[in-house]
Amino acid sequence: MIVDQELENKEIAKQYKELLRISYQTLSEKDKKMIRLAFDTAVEAHSEQRRKSGEAYIFHPINVAKIVAHQIGLDATSICAALLHDVVEDTQFTLEDIERLMGNTVAKIVHGLTKISSLKKDKNISLQAENFRKMLLTLNDDVRVIIIKIADRLHNMQTMDSMPEYKQVKIASETLYIYAPLAHRIGLYNVKTELEDLSLKYTEPQRYLSIKSKIEESYDEQENYIKTFSKFLSEELDKERVNYTIKGRSKSIYSIHRKMLIQNIAFENIFDKFAMRIVFKSTRPKEKLLAWKIYSIVTDHFTPNPTRLRDWISAPKSNGYEALHITVMGPQNKWVEVQIRSERMHEIAEKGYAAHYKYKQGDQKDIGIESWLNRLQEVLENNSGNAVDFVEDFKLNLYAKEIFVFTPKGDLKSLPQGATALDFAFAIHTDIGKKTRGIRVNGRLVPLSKELKSGDQIDVITSESIKPSKNWLDFVITSRARSIIKSSLNEEKKARAEEGKEILRRKLKQLKITLNDKTIQQMLLYFKFDSSQDLYYRMGIGTLDNKQLKNFASVYQNSVINFFKRRISSKKNTSPNLSSEITEKFDQLVFGKEKEPLAHSFANCCSPIPGDAVFGFITVNEGVKVHHKECPNALTLQSNFAYRVIPAKWIDSSSEQYTVVLKLSGIDRKGLVNEVTRMISNTKNVNINKINFDSEDQYFTGMIQVSVQNKTILSKLVTTLSKVNGIDKIVRE
């Protein structure tokens, strides 16, 4: 390829001048000198490199820096880090060189960006999920690391045409899966929208081009509508001497695509393809008053839909977004969304994090990024589970709409839409969540699973004797609550295993067997457990009874050598046995939150076996297909068809909680219900879900729904209850 070096150098110089000119922040002379040094260093470092398209590599860091400076609006330090973000990874320059030239802060950000880039090269980790979790850990270094990484991803998406198709689809899927939700959560709405649209361009090019061309065809019609709408309002706004602008904004291609999919409708049947935006000038103290004044003028002319009012001025979103949104019946009887914002609010909506700091006053708390980062850090610290599960939980909260609820003292808290009473308890404090005994919403006791609504006032009742139980995971949706509950359950399991180890030692001693490594290995083979902790835990919860231990002892004492020789050799020689042993333990595949068994088949692309981490995918013609969570197609399926993906897991019947309904009847007496409740509460490893008693003419009938881990525990419970004075009959439904 022949390159006109002089022309290229002129273009590089031109891009550099534009970078300084378009910066959102005001740059001092010191800032400009620092940026010049970073620019010169980047030009020198990348001088021999070219991109796939053939252009000089330096254009990439310059364009990333322009996105950081203008679209996102970060400071000189961030612009320098953006210019140097690939230097340590791709050239001879070291981190020490960057620190010596640019100082510690820039070096720290570049180091964080280099760590993220290097994650992709480790082929042993779960492709995107583990990368995402590790990427979030770089937030410990500096939040600007993630923001510059998002800018880097945006420029890569803008320049993907020269890449092979399989790479385009992979990078676009990853963008939809990780970077777009993250940009949304940080408040970078424009960046998020562009990332989504570009991702659709490469994952579903025909759909993208079809929607794009239809939007362009309707452009003139849309402009005429905006003029008609504005004409109605301008006269009244001018009378009130409001300094404003009215603009129309088309919905993004991706959001129209999502609406067409979810509602199963054609492009022509989507009526709210654009929104009106009124941006007004105001001093900070008068913003709220003026916003509601404009609201009043709009609703005087056009009938509002009362269910679609969104007041994010009184209670801003947790990423700092402020505005009034109303939907009104506009000209030609069309519903139109109207967004009312001050110039300050508009800047925060456009720039997110950067605008917060521009408008931050004194000791004012940053309502956006910092509180979110604190919550995120807790989730990361508490999480020790499967990376894919972590990402799925986390993504739910990234995109979720918000509700606003109150503490007993009247403090406002934001939660994702769909959050429950138990989610609120964990949002207040980890210890409060873990010790939740009951919750009052608006003064009334409610189940822990009660879904909250905006405006609810919530009071959490705690008890030192309460611990999180497994069924709590069905009552929460926030990643914070889920990770804390899972962490607590793991601690509880370890404690039970410790108890179980001592119980096992005592019982084996009575059978004249010593608990040592050899015995443990033989017991694992005999009982088909995966680990010693599994063995101890089953002992601790009562799954292993005396009869089973005696059977083991009999085998151990009579023919131990031959028995275990056969077991070990069969395990070595026949690989199918590994699968069958797992099948015996993990004997059922269940789907969804309700853990339902469904008809299914296994995908040929990854051929999962029992015990693998899996998910279900609802196909068009072949029902539910089960894929490995690390399947090469997993990312594409989860990114593009998330609405058809259902959670799936293999259940181990000896450790799962099972719901059982017992029906009781007999002669009624005073205190009977209290005695039954107390006996159930005192029975180890039993949780009461529902209880209901009716009495007529001294004859009672009762229904109790309990969760138990196995039939042995249920039998003990039934035996205990049958001894209660007055109970005549107990039937399991």
| CA-to-CA separations, 185 to 142, 331, 588, 641, in angstroms, rounded | 16, 34, 38, 21
Q: From the candidates 89, 236, 499, 581, which is the catalytic residue? A: 89
Q: What is the pLDDT of residue 390?
A: 57
Q: Can you read off the two tokens belonging to residue 122?
A: 């480790």
Q: DSSP string of 52-96? A: TTSSBTTHHHHHHHHIIIIII---HHHHHHHHTTTHHHHSS--HH
| CA-to-CA separations, 83 to 12, 28, 65, 686, in angstroms, rounded | 13, 18, 6, 60
Q: Is 300 a catalytic residue?
A: no
Helix (H) or strand (E) holding 396, with range, is: helix 387-399
Query: Whole-model pTM?
Result: 0.61
546 near 507, Cβ under 8 Å? yes
| Residue 603: strand, helix, or coil | coil
Quickly tell me which residue has 């589970």 as its tokens: 385
Q: What is the pLDDT of residue 365?
A: 42
Domains in the chain, CATH or no CATH each: 5-203 (1.10.3210.10), 213-359 (3.30.460.10), 584-652 (no CATH), 658-732 (3.30.70.260)
Nearest Cα neighbor of 629 from 129, 87, 94 is: 129
Instruction: Please provide residue 338's backbone torsions phi and psi, each rounded to the nearest 5 degrees.
Output: -115, 125
Q: What is the pLDDT of residue 119?
A: 52
Q: Can you read off the two tokens belonging to residue 371?
A: 């509180």
Q: Can you read off the two tokens belonging to residue 433?
A: 């969540």
Report H helices in 641-722: 672-682, 711-722
CA-based Rg of the chain, rounded to a whole angstrom? 31
Please give the DSSP secondary-structure letter assigned to residue 420. Answer: B
E-only strand ranges, 148-289: 244-250, 274-280
| CA-to-CA separations, 716 to 9, 76, 97, in angstroms, rounded | 84, 70, 70
Q: What is the pLDDT of residue 364?
A: 44
Q: Can you read off the two tokens belonging to residue 509?
A: 């001693």
Q: Is 499 a catalytic residue?
A: no
Strand order in the sheet with 324-330: 244-250, 274-280, 334-342, 324-330, 310-311
- Report residues of the chain scoring pLDDT below 50: 121-127, 362-368, 563, 565-566, 568, 570-584
Q: What is the pLDDT of residue 33?
A: 93
Please give the DSSP secondary-structure letter assigned to residue 163. Answer: S
24 near 69, Cβ under 8 Å? yes
Question: Distance between CA atoms of 539 and 498, rounded to whole angstroms?
Answer: 10
Q: Can you read off the two tokens belonging to residue 580?
A: 């069958």
Q: From the candidates 90, 366, 492, 581, which is the catalytic residue? A: 90
Q: Can you read off the two tokens belonging to residue 487?
A: 């962490």
Q: Which amino acid is at 578?
A: L
